[in-house]
Amino acid sequence: MLKAVIEREKEESRSIDLFEAIQDLKKELNAVILAHYYQEPDIQDIADYLGDSLGLSQQAAKTKADVIVFAGVHFMAETAKILNPDKLVLLPDLKAGCSLAEGCPAEEFAKFKATYPDHLVISYINCTAEIKAMSDIICTSSNAVKIVQQIPPDQPIIFAPDRNLGRYVSKMTQRELRLWDGSCIVHETFSQRRLIELKITYPQAEIIAHPECEEALLTHADYIGSTTALLKYSQQSASKTFIVATEPGIIHQMQKASPHKQFIPTPSTNNCACNECPYMRLNTLEKVYLAMKNRQPEIKLAEDVRQLAFKPIQRMLEMS
């Protein structure tokens, strides 16, 4: 029965102008659409705000809308809900997870944390609300270095859950960090060999990379930064060609901002489409429309966890 309703709705949504219908629903619901750069181009084009994880959290913290439609992954929509307990937060596909969040279960992390009782816990925003609730400060790829630099030098730190970002931050700050052993399945798939082959084919190209990439790959990069930082760099640099070592969804914005420049995605090891985030790509324009029409799937959170998770996010926003 439910399956039949979903199928009928899908059929209906195929026959309407989704862009127009979403604009109408935005007005009707007083909704804002926040989208990450790794979303498909149509979603990026209809979003009210497009950004990296930090920018999206900052927008979620200050929005006056009644409904937040989060075109991103679960931990991002959950962060918006932590900041806005009284607003309706919709995620077009609830299965849009993240390998970093999934690779850091709360029970195991609690044991890990208990082993180092004197450590301050700094967690990358790519984690569940339960992990945030056990953390002292949250960070994103754009402020991780800045946040660690503000911690007194004699204070030991646990950094979770991304070991690659952790290693990068450790190198940039010259601080020893106790790392949780997690990683992003997308950024770990980039092939170093293919990257070097591309550099030989395009010797003038600059390699720009996200700090979630493995250390060996980052050694080839001319510039390392969050998605927003990479986008800005590609606009400001005098180079005409870029080899992009992050999820290729961002290339839509890079190309829009610099139509005369060339952007080459870094291929993955097996020549598959594994350089696209399988979680981010679960969201489609059709699912955005259906989520707004049905006012679900909705992000729900236990209030005790939300209150605990709110504090380290608030600290991040203050320290950014």
CB of 137 to ligand SF4, least distance (A): 19
Q: Select 149 or 320, whichever has its Cβ closest to ligand 13P.
A: 320
| Residue bearing tokens 């080899």 | 243
Interaction of residue 185 with ligand SF4, rule CB under 6 A: yes
If contact means CB under 5 to 8 A according to the sort of partner, which of ligand 13P, ligand SF4, none does residue 180 touch?
Answer: none
User: Would you tell me the crossing angle of helices 53-62 and 74-83 to the nearest 10 degrees?
Assistant: 30
Give the range of 7-15, 78-86, 110-118, 274-282 binding ligand SF4 by CB under 6 A: 274-282
* Full DSSP string of 296-316: -SB----HHHHHHHHHHHHHH
If contact means CB under 5 to 8 A according to the sort of partner, which of ligand SF4, ligand 13P, none does residue 52 touch?
Answer: ligand 13P
In contact, 75 and 81? CB cutoff 8 Å = no
Would you state the structure tokens that stand for residue 145, as one six-digit string? 């270095």
In contact, 280 and 38? CB cutoff 8 Å = yes
Per-residue x/- marks for ligand SF4, 68-97, CB under 6 A?
-----x------------------------
Neighbours of 293 (CB within 10 A): 16
Q: Select 231 or 290, whichever has its Cβ closest to ligand 13P.
A: 231
Interaction of residue 226 with ligand SF4, rule CB under 6 A: no
**DSSP at 266:** P
In contact, 46 and 17? CB cutoff 8 Å = no
If contact means CB under 5 to 8 A according to the sort of partner, which of ligand 13P, ligand SF4, none does residue 53 touch?
Answer: ligand 13P
DSSP lists the bridge partners of residue 33 as: 69
Which contacts (CB < 8 Å, 24+ apart) does range 3-7 have? Answer: none
Interaction of residue 52 with ligand 13P, rule CB under 6 A: yes
Find the binder of ligand SF4 among 279, 284, 290, 316 (CB under 6 A).
279
How far, in Å, CA of 123 to CA of 229, rounded? 20
Find the binder of ligand SF4 among 22, 77, 184, 292 (CB under 6 A).
184
Residues that bind ligand 13P (CB under 6 A): 52-53, 98, 126, 140-142, 184, 212, 226-227
Residues that bind ligand SF4 (CB under 6 A): 73, 98-100, 126, 184-186, 212, 247, 277, 279-280
